[in-house]
C-alpha cells in the first residue's frame, strides 16, 4: 500500500518536475555553459566573461541600484503591510477592505505609467500643485522639475512598488494575525502583558512563517519593476533607476550574450544565496 501511495504521489509530481527541469534547470545550465564561452565563436574563455562584467561600469551601477532598491523596498513594504493588517484585524467592520488592497495588482503597467507621466512630468499635476502653493505665497512659478529625469525617480519607483504589492502583503499578514490563538492572547493579558509585549512575545513569533513567505515573494517581485521603469523612461533611464533588467535588455539588443550569460549566473546565484540565507535564519528561529 505504501508503494502504491508513493507511486501516486510521484505521478502527480512528475509533470511539475518535468516542467521545472525542461523550462528552468536545463536552460539555466546552458546559460552557465555559455558564460564560459565567447558569444560568436563559442571558444572557451574561462572566467574572462566574469572579469569583464565586474569591470563594467553599467553592470556595477545596475547591481548597486537593484540591491539598493530591494533594501529600501522590503522593510517598507513588510512594515506598512503589517501595520495595515494589524489595523484591519482589530476592526472587524474593516475586514472587507483587505480585498480592495489587491486592486493595484490588477492595474496594467501601461496605466500606471500613464499616471506617472500625468503626475510627475515637468508640467504635471505635482508641479502644478506646488506652483499654485508657491504663487499663493508670492514666490511665482518655481517648480519645473521632471521627476522621472532626476534622483526623485528612484523614490517614485519605490512608491509604485509598495502601492502595487501591498495587497498580497496585507492579506498574508491578515491571515497570520487571525490564526493566532485568542486563548494565548487572553492568558498573556491576564499575566499583565502590555500591548507591545503581547505583540512581540505572543503574536509576532507565530507570524514568522508568514514573514518568510512575504519576504521571499517581495524580494522576487522587486525584480519585476523593470516594466514600469522601461515604459516611462526607455532603455536608458536616469541613472538612479538603471536596474539589472535594463542592462540585460541592452546587452540582448547588442547581442552581448557572453556578458549577459555571466551576469545572469551572478544574479541568479545571488538571489539563490539570499533565499537560502533567509531560510537558514528562519529555521534557526524555529
Dist. CA 104–CA 69, nearest whole Å = 20
Dist. CA 171–CA 163, nearest whole Å: 14
Long-range contacts of 248-253 (CB under 8 A, 24+ apart): 250/58
274 and 219 in contact (C-beta within 8 Å)? yes
pLDDT in tens, the chain (286 residues): 677 777 888 888 888 889 989 988 899 999 999 899 888 788 888 899 999 999 999 999 999 999 999 999 999 999 999 998 888 887 766 666 767 777 777 778 778 888 888 888 888 888 888 888 877 777 766 777 888 888 888 998 898 889 888 888 988 888 888 888 888 878 878 777 777 788 888 888 888 888 888 888 888 888 877 777 887 777 888 888 899 888 988 998 888 889 999 999 999 888 888 888 887 777 765 5
Task: Name the burial class of residue 157, with classes exposed (0-12), middle (13-18) and buried (19+) by CB atoms within 10 angstroms of its CB.
Answer: buried
d(CA 125, CA 119): 5
* Environment class of 58 (CB within 10 Å of its CB; exposed 0-12, middle 13-18, buried 19+): middle
List the domains of the chain with CATH numbers: 34-103+168-285 (1.10.3720.10)
Amino acid at each position: 500500500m505504501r508503494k502504491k501511495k508513493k507511486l501516486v504521489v510521484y505521478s502527480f509530481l512528475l509533470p511539475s518536475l518535468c516542467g521545472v527541469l525542461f523550462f528552468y534547470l536545463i536552460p539555466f545550465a546552458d546559460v552557465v555553459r555559455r558564460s564560459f564561452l565567447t558569444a560568436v565563436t563559442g571558444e572557451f574563455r574561462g572566467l574572462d566573461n566574469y572579469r569583464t562584467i565586474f569591470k563594467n561600469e553599467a553592470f556595477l551601477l545596475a547591481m548597486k541600484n537593484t540591491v539598493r532598491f530591494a533594501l529600501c523596498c522590503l522593510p517598507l513594504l513588510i512594515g506598512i503591510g503589517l501595520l495595515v493588517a494589524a489595523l484591519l484585524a482589530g476592526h472587524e467592520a474593516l475586514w472587507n477592505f483587505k480585498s480592495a488592497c489587491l486592486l493595484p495588482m490588477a492595474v496594467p503597467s501601461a496605466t500606471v505609467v500613464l499616471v506617472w507621466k500625468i503626475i510627475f512630468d515637468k508640467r504635471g499635476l505635482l508641479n502644478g500643485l506646488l506652483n499654485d502653493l508657491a504663487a499663493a505665497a508670492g514666490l511665482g512659478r518655481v517648480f519645473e522639475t521632471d521627476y522621472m529625469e532626476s534622483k526623485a525617480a528612484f523614490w517614485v519607483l519605490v512608491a509604485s512598488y509598495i502601492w502595487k504589492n501591498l495587497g498580497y502583503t496585507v492579506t498574508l499578514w491578515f491571515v497570520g494575525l487571525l490564526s493566532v490563538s485568542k486563548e494565548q492572547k487572553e492568558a498573556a493579558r491576564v499575566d499583565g502583558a502590555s500591548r507591545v509585549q503581547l505583540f512581540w512575545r505572543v503574536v509576532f513569533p507565530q507570524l514568522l512563517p508568514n514573514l518568510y513567505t512575504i519576504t521571499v515573494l517581495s524580494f522576487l517581485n522587486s525584480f519585476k519593476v523593470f516594466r514600469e521603469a522601461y515604459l516611462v523612461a526607455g532603455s536608458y533611464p536616469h541613472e538612479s533607476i538603471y536596474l539589472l533588467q535594463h542592462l540585460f535588455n541592452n546587452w540582448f539588443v547588442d547581442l552581448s550574450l557572453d556578458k549577459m550569460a555571466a551576469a545572469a549566473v551572478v544574479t541568479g546565484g545571488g538571489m539563490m544565496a539570499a533565499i537560502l540565507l533567509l531560510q537558514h535564519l528562519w529555521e534557526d528561529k524555529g
